[in-house]
Structure 1
């Protein structure tokens, strides 16, 4: 469980560092200071790109596009239930952005963790797995 939470946290951090409704994100920083610090902007973009490549490649290999859509549908249905029960209010655009970041980070966290879950449930390793 700790492994999944760690993978999910880093997925959430990657997404939130790229964009969030506050001023503390890469997109806002580049819009304000990117032209002044172009070398730093490019370096940070490349670091973020490496993170996205790692997460997206692992997610696509483990659960595929259909699995990604299914996880997003499950999260969407959960949000819908919470909204219908009056627990969640979707009036604020900031809340909606944080919910989207949460949903996408769950997809990436599950995608990165799925091979571990499958191995624990079935006892079978993926073909490209190396002994841990």
Structure 2
């Protein structure tokens, strides 16, 4: 008997049934994997400890030691940034990014307001901002999956001609 598949629906003979085979699952684990990747991209690019792509290439530039490994690492980081920023822009939009960033900003303000974190160190504030950037990118990467879970509505990408 012939079987036809259209998206989630399988038609066999005169019966149509829905299936979930091939649909990627989304879990708290996949959210934290995205968060780990976003933190890696952000902190490998720059961090206050001095062990980052920025510091590595700056030191090599001033010592006339730039090489192909610097370029390879820069391109790899650029690809990671492009993927995360593009997905965040498409899923959240400018307003969504502003809302997520403002939510994170208020949470950081609460940490300082209630003296959970002392504001005397600029390095501490830099670490918090970098983690905030990673959180915004993670929410952007995860939003289509969260939206589908919460509302049952799937996000369809527009195809430009």
Calculate the TM-score normalised by the size of structure 1. Answer: 0.92
Distance 1:80 1:41 in 2: 37
Partner of residue 20, structure 2 = none
Distance 1:81 1:45 in 2: 35
Distance 1:127 1:79 in 2: 34
CA shift for structure 1 position 37: 3.3
Calculate the TM-score normalised by the size of structure 2. Answer: 0.76
Structure label with greater radius of gyration: 2
CA shift for structure 1 position 38: 2.4
Partner of residue 84, structure 1 = 113
Which of 17, 28, 31 aligns to 2:58? It is: 31
Distance 2:57 2:154 in 1: 42
CA shift for structure 1 position 121: 1.0
Partner of residue 4, structure 1 = 31
Q: Which runs of 5+ in 2 are unaligned?
A: 1-27
Q: Which runs of 5+ in 1 are unaligned?
A: none
Query: Relative contact order (C-alpha < 8 Å, sep 6+): which is higher?
Result: 1
Q: How many residues align?
A: 128
Which of 147, 153, 161 aligns to 1:118? It is: 147
Give the secondary-structure state (helix, strand or coil) at the position aligned to 1:50: helix
Partner of residue 22, structure 1 = 49
Which of 47, 52, 61 aligns to 2:81? It is: 52
Deviations 1:66-118 (A, max 9, x none): 11111111111111112111111121111011001111001000000000001
CA shift for structure 1 position 12: 0.8
Are 2:129 and 1:100 equivalent residues in the alignment? yes
Distance 2:48 2:139 in 1: 24
